[in-house]
Amino acid sequence: MEETVNANIVRGGRFITIEGIEGSGKSTNLPHIVEFLQNAGKTVVATREPGGTRIGEALRTLLLDPEQDMQLDTELLLMFAARAEHLAKVIRPALEAGQWVVCSRFTDATYAYQGAGRGIPNNRIATLARWVQGDLEPDLVLILDIPVEKGFERVRERGAMDRFEQEQVAFFQRVRDAYLARAEAHPERYRIIDARGSMEAVRARIAEVMQESKLYNHCWEQP
Query: What is the three-class DSSP state of 16?
Result: strand
User: Cis omega before residue 31 (within 30°)?
Assistant: no
Question: Is 2 part of a structural domain of the chain?
Answer: no
pLDDT in tens, 106-137: 999 999 999 999 999 999 999 999 999 999 99
Cα–Cα distance, 101 to 126 (Å, whole number): 22
Q: Which residues pair with 192 in a beta bridge?
A: 143
pLDDT in tens, 4-38: 344 444 457 899 999 999 989 999 999 999 999 99
Question: Is 126 part of a structural domain of the chain?
Answer: yes
CATH number at residue 22: 3.40.50.300
Question: Is 223 part of a structural domain of the chain?
Answer: no
Question: Is 1 part of a structural domain of the chain?
Answer: no
Which residues span the domain enclosing 22?
A: 7-218
pLDDT of residue 5: 40
pTM of the complete model: 0.90
48 φ, ψ (degrees, to nearest 5):
-150, 160
pLDDT in tens, 66-95: 999 999 999 999 999 999 999 999 999 999
Question: Is 207 part of a structural domain of the chain?
Answer: yes
Binding residues: 20-27
Query: What is the three-class DSSP state of 105?
Result: coil
Question: Is 130 part of a structural domain of the chain?
Answer: yes
Give helix 72-86 / helix 54-64 axis angle, nearest 10°: 160
Extract the runs of DSSP E, i.e. beta strands, from the chain.
14-19, 44-48, 100-104, 140-145, 190-194
pLDDT in tens, 186-214: 999 999 999 998 999 999 999 999 888 77
Q: How many domains does the chain have?
A: 1
Question: Is 92 part of a structural domain of the chain?
Answer: yes
Q: Give CA 191 to chain center in angstroms.
A: 12
Binding residues for ATP: 20-27
Indicate the residue type of 129: A
